[in-house]
Amino acid sequence: MANFSAPMTGGQTFELLGRPARYTVLYFYPKDNTPGCTTEAMSFRDNYDAFRALGVEIYGISRDSLRSHEGFKSKLGLPFALISDPDETVCNLFGVMKMKNMYGKQVRGIERSTFVFDASGRLVKEWRGVKVNDHVSEVLEFLQGQP
Q: What is the pLDDT along the chain (147 residues), one digit of tens a residue?
A: 678 899 999 999 999 888 888 999 999 999 999 999 999 999 999 999 999 999 999 999 999 999 999 999 999 999 999 999 999 999 999 999 998 877 788 888 999 999 999 998 899 999 999 999 999 999 999 999 988
Using CB atoms within 10 Å of the CB of residue 71, give its burial: 0 to 12 exposed, 13 to 18 middle, 19+ buried: middle
Count of CB atoms situated within 10 Å of the CB of 113: 20
Minimal CA–CA distance to 114: which of 70, 46, 60?
A: 60
d(CA 48, CA 121): 21
Q: Could you say which of 16, 26, 37, 81 is catalytic?
A: 37
Domains and CATH numbers, the chain: 21-144 (3.40.30.10)
Which parts of the chain are beta strand (E)? 5-8, 12-15, 23-28, 56-62, 81-84, 97-102, 105-110, 113-118, 123-127
pTM: 0.94
Q: Is 91 a catalytic residue?
A: no
